[in-house]
Amino acid sequence: MRKGILALLAMATFGLQSSFACDMHGITGIVEENGLWIGTDAKGINTITEEKFNAVLDRVEGIYSPIIKEMGKTLQVIRKWEDGTVNAYAQQTGNIWKISMFGGLARHETITADGFALVACHELGHHIGGAPKKSSWFGTSWASNEGQSDYFGNSKCLRKYMEVDDNVAMMAKVDVPAFATKKCEANFSNAEDIAMCQRGAMAGLSLGNLFKALRNLTTPLKFETPDTNVVSTTNHNHPAPQCRLDTYFAGAICDKDAYDDPSRTNAATGYCTRAADYTDGVRPLCWYKP
């Protein structure tokens, strides 16, 4: 009888760990579980080649491996170009912190190279994005929740990723919606910072359109039409696609330094907050309860 109870407890604990971290089956990856598979033989999907897939991950890994090493951990970026899975996930196994990236997601028609970089940043956000964390029966888990990982992805990680580029020249070739440009210009004065804000916004739109496509939604996602829902408690799961776009956009226009590190316990540290009289760049209320 005692052995049976212990076995049930072990199973329950394993189930909680799988549910409350980004698990290897994609159930709680950057998107919900889906059966979509985009193999390497898919034609006319987008322009992310295997070379680009690896170049994006090389840069992300080059930035964050030393940072995570300083924490006494080892970052593993698991690259599965051949795998057609349309998802990504994060795991922690002892001192090994992993992000798994799939070619299927990179090959989805909505995904740009910057959108793919933002996926990697989201997965890193589960490890180091700070509070709020996913909840569990035992308190809080190791993983920053979905909305926070989105917010970290654009406000911290992608900004570091972009800073070595000539962003002004890059964005001169992109048709950025006027509303996004206006917000970027209102929150930044330096031309490079404005361009990085625009670039982050467009990366967020790429991912927003992925979430929209996977949920078979037809209403266009727009920067100027934010989700009007207000949660009574913080939602730790995947917010709706418009809400997620709002979060990416908030991360892009938040003027906090990308090197102002977040806190594991204090959601205010390193981010734009209403308590500090920010109106732009704050976590959207469609998933976050201050």
pLDDT tens across 83-118, in order?
999 999 999 999 999 999 999 999 999 999 999 999
Residue 56 lies in a domain: yes
Residue 140 lies in a domain: yes
User: At a CB cut-off of 8 Å and minimum separation 6, what does 156 contact?
Assistant: 121, 125, 129, 251, 258, 262, 270
End-to-end CA distance of the chain: 45
Residue 112 lies in a domain: yes
Residue 290 lies in a domain: no
Q: At what angle do helices 178-187 and 241-253 cross, to 10 degrees?
A: 40
Query: What is the layout of strands, in order, in the sheet containing 96-102?
Result: 74-80, 96-102, 88-93
Residue 270 lies in a domain: no
Residue 104 lies in a domain: yes
Residue 227 lies in a domain: yes
What Cα–Cα distance (Å) separates residue 284 from each residue in 66, 237, 245, 273? Answer: 31, 14, 10, 10
Q: pTM value?
A: 0.91
Helix (H, G, I), strand (E, B) or coil at 78: strand
Residue 10 lies in a domain: no
Q: How many domains does the chain have?
A: 1
For 242, the domain range is 20-253
Q: What is the pLDDT along the chain (290 residues), one digit of tens a residue?
A: 444 444 433 334 333 343 334 554 445 699 988 989 999 998 766 779 999 999 999 999 999 999 999 999 999 999 999 999 999 999 999 999 999 999 999 999 999 999 999 999 999 999 999 999 997 666 678 999 999 999 999 999 999 999 999 999 999 999 999 999 999 999 999 999 999 999 999 999 999 999 999 999 999 999 999 999 999 999 999 999 999 999 999 999 999 999 999 999 999 999 999 999 999 999 999 999 99
